[in-house]
Amino acid sequence: MLDPESDELRDLKIVDAHHHFCDLEGPVSYPWLSHPEAHSSRHGDYSRICRSYLPAEYKRDTALHNLVASVHVEAECDRTQQLEETDWLVSMHRLHGLPSAIVAHAWVDTPDAEELIAQQARRPLVKGIRTKPLTSSGPDASVRGMPRSLQDENWIRGLGLLEKYKLSWDLRVPWWHLEEAAVVARRFPNLPIALNHAGCPFDRSPEALAVWRRGMKALAACENVVCKISGLLVTGQPWTLKLNGPIIKETLDIFGPDRCMFASNVFPDTLKGSWDYIYCQFKKSVAHEPPEVLNKLFCDNALRFYRIPAQSA
């Protein structure tokens, strides 16, 4: 096992596979940050993150680690400004060298879906699309068959546009929808899919984890699905390795080291800890792994999945 303070872990190349920027004084609007009273958070007071978060601050936050590239995932901007968010991020890349890749937003079931996806795909930094299906408020509620749900044929057909334009899909659903998501994933075996936030296991009760585990195994059975280990937030609990270490281990056991990647999910995850703290915990959680596995989890898998040129890293 490597010492968490060792040179090997300190110098480990990192590709942060999922983070967000925003400029509340800039050209793109983020309603959920501008009006936090309209949004509730199971993880804490949103007002703490209702501010701009820009590349200069991100670079300071990551300065103690060997960050070589990053992947920006759409940050819930005003949905009339999807291309504007992408173009703003491209300008940040020109000025700061980050992000290295973009997962943009586009609906796949609107009349203009193909036009918008085609325009996103023409931006060279755009490697994928995050488009969230409709999800229920909890495991005891249902949206099955509703428009934009995981059973909506119009929405499901629209996912084919991502494959057509050679884009990946970032899939974000809570743990009680994972098995349904696996049904959709099986319909698109050639579409690269990145499951966000380890399937969002917010509830760590034995009953909830049993459902999460079944869903994770169903998605892992789809060879086109990879998993981001991020967003490990639990209502009313701090971010600790005692709490999240077992989830990290089980996720790695289910998906394997070739199909997992670590990611910070800052700035939302700063509700529980800094970028430096979260990544130090990630490193401690897998310090027993051989160097080739560490390189995959922290760098190589993200480079491959998001098609980030090696010279960029």
Mean pLDDT by 10 residues, the chain (313 residues): 68 97 96 70 77 97 97 97 98 98 98 98 98 97 97 98 98 98 98 98 97 98 98 93 98 98 96 96 96 97 95 67
Closest CA to 61 of 234, 280, 298, 287: 280
| Cα dist from 228 to 4, 21, 57, 256, 257, whole Å | 21, 18, 23, 12, 11
For residue 235, what pLDDT is reported? Answer: 86
Please list, in sequence order, all residues whose beta carbon lies within 8 angstroms of the beta carbon of residue 298, skipping any fewer than 6 positions away.
12, 13, 14, 15, 261, 262, 282
Strand, helix or coil at 66? Answer: strand
For residue 311, what pLDDT is reported? Answer: 66
Fill in the DSSP letter of residue 53.
B
Spatial separation of the C-alpha atoms in residues 58 and 62, rounded to whole Å = 6
Spatial separation of the C-alpha atoms in residues 252 and 272, rounded to whole Å = 22
Closest CA to 199 of 176, 221, 223: 176
Q: What is the DSSP string of 219-256?
A: HHTSTTEEEEE-----TT----HHHHHHHHHHHHHHH-
Positive or negative CA dihedral for 192, 128, 262, 232? negative
Fill in the DSSP letter of residue 78.
-
Q: Which domains does the chain have, with CATH numbers?
A: 7-312 (3.20.20.140)
Spatial separation of the C-alpha atoms in residues 179 and 185, rounded to whole Å = 10
For residue 4, what pLDDT is reported? Answer: 57
Spatial separation of the C-alpha atoms in residues 197 and 299, rounded to whole Å = 17
Claim: this prediction has a pTM higher than 0.85: yes
Spatial separation of the C-alpha atoms in residues 8 and 287, rounded to whole Å = 10
For residue 40, what pLDDT is reported? Answer: 54
Spatial separation of the C-alpha atoms in residues 98 and 117, rounded to whole Å = 22
| Cα dist from 78 to 84, 134, 248, whole Å | 10, 17, 33
Pairing of strands 101-105, 126-130: parallel
For residue 290, what pLDDT is reported? Answer: 96
**In the chain, pLDDT over 90 holds for what percent of residues?**
88
Please give the structure tokens belonging to residue 142. 């249902």
